[in-house]
């Protein structure tokens, strides 16, 4: 597991390149200002089109388009134009944040507040010499195969429905980040 200094340097580099989602920056910086936590990676939730060569082969999957915000139909349709081979999946994913806690007690506290905010899939990914890597994750997700061998197999009506659903789930999931930020704020206030 990387240490806090390395993690913060990595974060600053990513931020300066514009690679950190804007709607998660203030939450990440609050978490990192607490002495017993630091973040190692994050995504504020997204809608993606993913090209997968073989069923189950996520290793060789390629992002065709990726948005960390609501998407309108024109953008989606525009992105589909480049689809030529393999399977195409329309995917909506919850926000995800990886946070290292310096002690079990703090990891448990973090898990508790994450669950309270609705991040019901939060778990511990790794324990290494007392450091604990927590993954904050919510339940919103869509995972829909929409193309095969270069051919889109769903009609416009269905695509519209999937997109509306994905946008609603994204807004719902991103709302949970605000809740988490408030709870981290309370920790900051009580530790200062």
Per-residue contact flags (x/-) with its own copies for residues 155 to 174, judged by CB under 8 A: x-xx--xx--x--xx--x--
Q: Is 63 in the site for its own copies (CB under 8 A)?
A: no
Count the neighbouring beta carbons within 10 Å of the beta carbon of residue 47.
24
Task: For the CB of residue 91, give the shortest distance to its own copies in the complex, in Å.
Answer: 9
The answer to whether 124 and 114 have CB atoms below 8 angstroms apart is no
Spatial separation of the C-alpha atoms in residues 94 and 136, rounded to whole Å: 10
Residues with Cβ < 8 Å from 39, sequence gap 6 or more?
7, 11, 28, 31, 32, 97, 98, 99, 100
> Closer to its own copies at the Cβ: 20 or 136?
136
Residues 92-131 that bind its own copies (CB under 8 A): 104, 107-108, 123-125, 127
Angle between helical axes of 25-32 and 4-16 (0-180°, round to 10): 160
Count the neighbouring beta carbons within 10 Å of the beta carbon of residue 35.
10
Among 1-9, 19-27, 75-83, 138-146, which window interacts with its own copies (CB under 8 A)? 138-146
Among 13-21, 23-31, 71-79, 150-158, which window interacts with its own copies (CB under 8 A)? 150-158
Residues 30-59 that bind its own copies (CB under 8 A): 55-56, 58
> Closer to its own copies at the Cβ: 26 or 141?
141
> Closer to its own copies at the Cβ: 19 or 128?
128
Which parts of 6-140 are beta strand (E)?
Answer: 37-43, 46-52, 62-67, 87-93, 96-101, 123-128, 131-137
Q: Please identify which residue in 22, 62, 84, 148 interacts with its own copies, judged by CB under 8 A.
A: 148
The total number of residues shown for the chain amounts to 192
Which helix (H) or strand (E) segment is 173 a member of? Answer: helix 156-191
Q: Is 151 in the site for its own copies (CB under 8 A)?
A: no
Q: Is 25 in the site for its own copies (CB under 8 A)?
A: no
> SS3 of 154, please?
coil
Task: For the CB of residue 68, give the shortest distance to its own copies in the complex, in Å.
Answer: 19
Residues interacting with its own copies, by CB under 8 A?
55-56, 58, 104, 107-108, 123-125, 127, 135, 139-145, 148, 153-155, 157-158, 161-162, 165, 168-169, 172
């Amino acid at each position: 597991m990387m240490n806090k200094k390395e993690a913060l340097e990595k974060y600053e580099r990513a931020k300066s390149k514009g690679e950190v989602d804007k709607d998660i920056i203030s939450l990440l910086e609050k978490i990192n200002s607490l002495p017993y936590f630091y973040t190692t990676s994050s995504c504020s939730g997204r809608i993606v089109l993913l090209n997968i060569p073989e069923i189950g082969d996520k290793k060789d999957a390629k992002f065709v388009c990726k948005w960390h915000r609501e998407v309108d139909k024109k953008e989606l349709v525009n992105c589909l134009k480049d689809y030529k081979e393999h399977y195409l999946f329309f995917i909506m994913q919850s926000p995800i944040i990886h946070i290292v806690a310096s002690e079990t007690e703090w990891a448990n506290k973090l898990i508790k507040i994450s669950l309270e905010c609705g991040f019901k899939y939060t778990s511990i990914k790794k324990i290494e010499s007392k450091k604990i890597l927590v993954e904050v994750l919510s339940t919103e997700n869509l995972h829909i195969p929409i193309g095969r061998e270069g051919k889109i197999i769903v009609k416009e009506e269905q695509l519209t429905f999937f997109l509306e659903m994905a946008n609603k789930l994204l807004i719902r999931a991103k709302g949970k980040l605000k809740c988490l930020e408030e709870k981290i704020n309370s920790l900051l206030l009580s530790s200062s």
